[in-house]
């Protein structure tokens, strides 16, 4: 069924249908009327039938018919037919010209659109308002500012100066390809503005980072009595999204709840994005669900919300849901997913996504390839990353930077440097990010020379980030003086540079120097941030400057960082190092939003304070607060248990971390646990754990176990462990000593004596301690003889 929407043409359409039945109807008036109706309703099939009829009646070359046919095909987006009809006659209506200009632009053929507009001038055809607007649109899409300004000049002397549509087109032209200030001036000079003009200026302000002006414009628009539409709300919501102004955005959203606007796909997507960015995942999901039409973009927004907030698995779940619903992922989908996999270091899921990328034929997309490179790099699959880069048909500077950064993250400075050299060889120009990534890869003395070389390469384009990377690099590569020199030679004042220098001072145990610089920073009127305080507080800790620490604490309160978890963590650690658990706990208790790092710090401080029961209490409190402990948290807890001999609590921790949190114990966890078991006399369990753990038992754990055997007078195990330890480390004396003590205690003085002799022979040690040991054995021997 084909119906004209406009009632004006319904009679013509009715006539057309009669005509279809009766081939004899062919009067031009009726046919023109029907053609108008087809244009209005974009009725292509009907239009084609009519075109046939017009040809049969030989009206085809009549200017009116021809112009209308151009309009019909233009409206339906059929460029070839519109073009053919246009070329068929000499004289066309102005609308036909305008339509074809617009159509060329729509098909990305702006050059032909401009040629057409110039032909109009040659043929002495006056442009009307629509022509002006069409040409302005072409200028915008072709980024032709020169022509745009010419058109602007032409408008300036025409009568159309104050037209809303032309004005808005000009605002958009300047806003998108020219100076936003020009756009704003034209907008301000418009006598009348409608919702389209307002929506345009708001969107443009956001695009140029003028968020405040965007928000103010929205208010002014309301004051002037113009009602916002979806375009306006979409723009204002995305302003809020990009500026993390979700509180204001929520207010705007409030006005939309329950209206049709809220369910509009563009609106729902913008809202999902805003809530997603601010981490309000529940709200994001609820808006996502209200949308009445979900496209790839919508799924990308909800998936990105989870991906960007560390919920990689949820993001992957949405990916599968999306495909189950028949929505195809695009390159952005994979960029979000792969970047989540990279951040979470989940190589297996990342590789699975790689498979999907290949299945979807998106492996040639450079953004996707770069994210793949990043994923493999971050997950330490550097061979794969290297192969991937070599196989990429198109590489940009981001590809190289990503690969360098991947090596940097895995501590491979030499490799990063050779990738840089390869990059230069292939003619790729490095940028500031390249230098930052590279400098970040140099972390030890042996990379100092490479660091100095990169310093000379980057010298002409130093920015804040590179400069602080240089300070950091020199610090890590052991040259405090060079770090200081770069810092003093800084061209711009920036808190990041100060923070980098403070960190270097701390690495080099120059806490006093950091404190002096901190005073200088105050004089230079550079505002410290939370990281400044974090650094300075650790300077206090390393200098054991308890009173200075208290002063810095007071200053941090003055700057309003009481609730800041970074500062609070530093304070907890500082008080911990200074031995004041009470002060540390006081700071901790004041913070409302405690993250895993702050919790882990207080747990660690309490553990070092020696009260194991308190540590376990804190751990349980943390779990009740819904914060997930990590492997470091458990290490502190286990260490506390070990020091306080809390065997059951320690066993619980060790089980819970694996069963409840899927954390694989590291060698350190095993050492703590073995230590705890050994000290508590559970030697069988300790030995079993040591033999079953997925690591080579360290010298320390064997020694601990041997020591425990001595304490428990466990001769059989002691002999086994001691001999094993000696076979592993024949050059280390302590196993000989401890085992000999065990032999002595068991009355096997001869074996003890032989062992010490063996030790002397193998290690060449004849220290006083060993002499003392020999004497002890002899004494015991004598006692026994008596």
Of 198, 134, 194, 193, whose CA–CA distance to 169 is shortest? Answer: 134
Q: CB pairs under 8 A, 24+ apart, for 462-466? A: 462/491, 463/432, 464/492, 464/494, 464/496, 464/497, 465/432, 465/436, 465/496, 466/432, 466/435, 466/436, 466/439
Minimum Å gap between C-beta 44 and DNA is: 20
For residues 518-537, which are near DNA according to CB under 7 A?
A: none
Choices 68-76, 320-328, 346-354, 466-474; region in contact with DNA by CB under 7 A: 466-474
Of 373, 261, 241, 400, whose CA–CA distance to 308 is shortest? Answer: 241
Binding mask 369-408 for DNA (x = CB under 7 A): -xx--x----------------------xx--xx--x---
C-alpha 677/C-alpha 687 separation (Å) is 9
Choices 117-125, 294-302, 569-577, 589-597; region in contact with DNA by CB under 7 A: 294-302
Q: Which is nearer to DNA, 283 or 675 (CB)?
A: 283
Helix (H) or strand (E) holding 80: helix 79-88
Which of residues 139, 186, 368, 690 is near DNA by CB under 7 A? 368
Number of residues interacting with DNA: please give it, by CB under 7 A. 73
Choices 198-206, 522-530, 574-582, 777-785; region in contact with DNA by CB under 7 A: 198-206
Q: Which is nearer to DNA, 233 or 588 (CB)?
A: 233
Which of residues 333, 539, 569, 633 is near DNA by CB under 7 A? 333
For residues 44-63, which are near DNA according to CB under 7 A?
A: none
8 A C-beta contact, residue 405 and residue 438: no
Q: Which is nearer to DNA, 371 or 569 (CB)?
A: 371
Burial of 540 (0-12, 13-18, 19+ CB in 10 A): buried
Q: Which is nearer to DNA, 316 or 398 (CB)?
A: 398
Of 536, 523, 459, whose CA–CA distance to 493 is shortest? Answer: 523
For residues 120-149, which are near DNA according to CB under 7 A?
A: 133, 137, 140
8 A C-beta contact, residue 302 and residue 285: yes
CA atoms within 13 A on the CB side of 50: 30
- Under the binding rule (CB under 7 A), the answer on residue 117 touching DNA is no
Minimum Å gap between C-beta 421 and DNA is: 18
- Under the binding rule (CB under 7 A), the answer on residue 297 touching DNA is yes
C-alpha 14/C-alpha 20 separation (Å) is 10
Minimum Å gap between C-beta 662 and DNA is: 25
Minimum Å gap between C-beta 276 and DNA is: 9
Binding mask 423-442 for DNA (x = CB under 7 A): ---------xx--xx--x--
* DSSP assignments along 92-117, one per residue: --HHHHHHHHHHHHHTT-HHHHHHHH
Choices 215-223, 325-333, 605-613, 770-778; region in contact with DNA by CB under 7 A: 325-333
C-alpha 637/C-alpha 646 separation (Å) is 10
Which of residues 67, 98, 246, 300 is near DNA by CB under 7 A? 300
- Under the binding rule (CB under 7 A), the answer on residue 330 touching DNA is yes
Residues whose CB is less than 8 angstroms from the CB of residue 388 and which lie 6 or more positions away in sequence, other chains included: 369, 372, 373, 376
For residues 211-250, which are near DNA according to CB under 7 A?
A: 229-232, 234-235, 238, 241-242
- Under the binding rule (CB under 7 A), the answer on residue 114 touching DNA is no
For residues 52-111, which are near DNA according to CB under 7 A?
A: 102
Binding mask 439-458 for DNA (x = CB under 7 A): -x------------------
Backbone angles phi, psi at 299, to 5 degrees: -65, -40
- Under the binding rule (CB under 7 A), the answer on residue 468 touching DNA is yes
Minimum Å gap between C-beta 698 and DNA is: 32
C-alpha 760/C-alpha 742 separation (Å) is 18
Minimum Å gap between C-beta 116 and DNA is: 16
The CA-atom distances, in angstroms, between 270 and each of 135, 220, 234, 238 are: 30, 22, 6, 6
C-alpha 586/C-alpha 589 separation (Å) is 5
């Amino acid at each position: 069924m084909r119906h004209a929407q406009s009632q004006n043409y319904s009679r013509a359409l009715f006539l057309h249908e009669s005509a279809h039945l009766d081939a004899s109807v062919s009067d031009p008036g009726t046919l023109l009327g029907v053609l108008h109706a087809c244009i209005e309703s974009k009725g292509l099939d009907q239009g084609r039938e009519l075109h046939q009829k017009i040809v049969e009646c030989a009206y085809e070359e009549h200017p009116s018919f021809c112009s209308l046919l151009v309009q019909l095909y233009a409206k339906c987006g059929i460029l070839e037919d519109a073009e053919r009809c246009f070329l068929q006659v000499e004289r066309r209506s102005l609308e036909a010209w305008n339509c074809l200009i617009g159509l060329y632009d729509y098909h990305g053929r702006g050059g032909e659109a401009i040629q057409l507009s110039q032909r109009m001038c040659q043929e002495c055809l006056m442009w009307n308002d629509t022509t002006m607007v069409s040409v302005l649109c072409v200028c915008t899409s072709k980024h032709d500012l020169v022509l745009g300004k010419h058109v602007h000049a032409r408008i300036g002397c025409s009568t159309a100066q104050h037209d809303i549509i032309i004005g808005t087109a000009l605002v958009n032209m300047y806003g998108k390809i020219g100076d936003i200030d020009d756009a704003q001036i034209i907008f301000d000079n418009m006598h009348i503005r409608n919702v389209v003009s307002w929506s345009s200026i708001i969107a443009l302000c956001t695009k140029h980072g003028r968020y405040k002006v965007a928000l103010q414009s929205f208010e002014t628009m309301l004051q002037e009595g113009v009602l916002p539409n979806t375009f306006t709300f979409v723009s204002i919501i995305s302003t809020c999204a990009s500026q993390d102004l979700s509180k204001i955005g929520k207010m705007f959203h409030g006005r939309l709840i329950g209206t049709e606007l809220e369910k509009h796909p563009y609106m729902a997507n913008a809202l999902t994005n805003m809530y997603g960015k601010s981490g309000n995942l529940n709200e994001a999901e609820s808006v996502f669900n209200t949308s009445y039409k979900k496209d790839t973009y919508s799924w990308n927004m909800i998936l990105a919300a989870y991906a960007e907030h560390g919920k990689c698995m949820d993001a992957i779940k949405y990916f599968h849901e999306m495909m189950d619903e028949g929505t195809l992922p695009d390159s952005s989908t994979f960029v979000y997913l792969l970047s989540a996999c990279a951040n979470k270091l989940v190589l297996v899921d990342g590789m699975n996504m790689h498979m999907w990328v290949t299945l979807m034929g998106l492996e040639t997309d450079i953004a996707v390839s770069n994210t793949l490179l990043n994923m493999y790099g971050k997950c330490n699959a550097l061979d794969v990353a290297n192969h991937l880069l070599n196989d990429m048909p198109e590489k940009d500077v981001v590809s190289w930077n990503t690969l360098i950064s991947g090596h940097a993250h895995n501590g491979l400075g030499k490799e990063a440097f050779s990738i840089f050299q390869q990059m230069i060889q292939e003619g790729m120009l490095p940028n500031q990010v390249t230098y930052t990534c590279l400098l970040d890869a140099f972390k030890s003395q042996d990379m100092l020379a490479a660091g100095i070389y990169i310093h000379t390469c980057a010298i002409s384009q130093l920015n804040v980030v590179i400069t602080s990377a240089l300070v950091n690099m020199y610090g890590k590569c052991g040259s405090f003086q060079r770090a200081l020199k770069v810092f003093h030679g800084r061209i711009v004042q920036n808190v990041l540079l100060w923070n980098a220098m403070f960190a270097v001072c701390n690495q080099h145990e120059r806490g006093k120097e950091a404190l002096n610089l901190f005073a200088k920073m105050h004089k230079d009127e550079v505002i410290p941030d939370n990281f400044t305080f974090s650094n300075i507080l650790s300077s206090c800790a390393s200098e054991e400057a308890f009173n200075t620490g208290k002063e810095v604490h007071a200053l941090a309160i003055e700057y309003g960082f009481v609730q800041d978890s970074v500062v609070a963590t530093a304070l907890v650690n500082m008080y911990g190092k200074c031995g004041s658990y009470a002060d540390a706990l006081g700071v901790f208790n004041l913070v409302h939003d405690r993250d895993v790092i702050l919790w882990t710090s207080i747990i660690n401080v309490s553990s070092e304070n020696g009260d194991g029961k308190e540590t376990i209490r804190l751990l349980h409190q943390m779990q009740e607060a819904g914060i997930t402990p990590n492997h470091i948290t458990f290490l502190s807890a286990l260490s506390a248990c070990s020091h306080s001999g809390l065997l059951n609590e320690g066993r619980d921790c060790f089980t819970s971390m694996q069963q409840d949190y899927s954390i694989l114990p590291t060698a350190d966890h095993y050492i703590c646990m073995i230590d705890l078991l050994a000290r508590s006399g559970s030697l069988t369990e300790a030995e079993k754990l040591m033999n079953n753990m997925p690591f080579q038992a360290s010298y320390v754990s064997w020694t601990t176990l041997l020591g425990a055997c001595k304490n428990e007078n466990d001769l059989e195990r002691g002999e086994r462990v001691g001999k094993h330890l000696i076979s592993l480390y024949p050059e280390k004396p302590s196993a000989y000593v401890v085992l000999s003590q065990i032999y002595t205690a068991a009355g096997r003085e001869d074996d003890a004596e032989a062992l010490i002799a063996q030790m002397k022979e193998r290690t060449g040690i004849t220290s006083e301690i060993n002499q003392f040991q020999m004497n002890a054995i002899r004494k015991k021997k004598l006692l026994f003889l008596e």
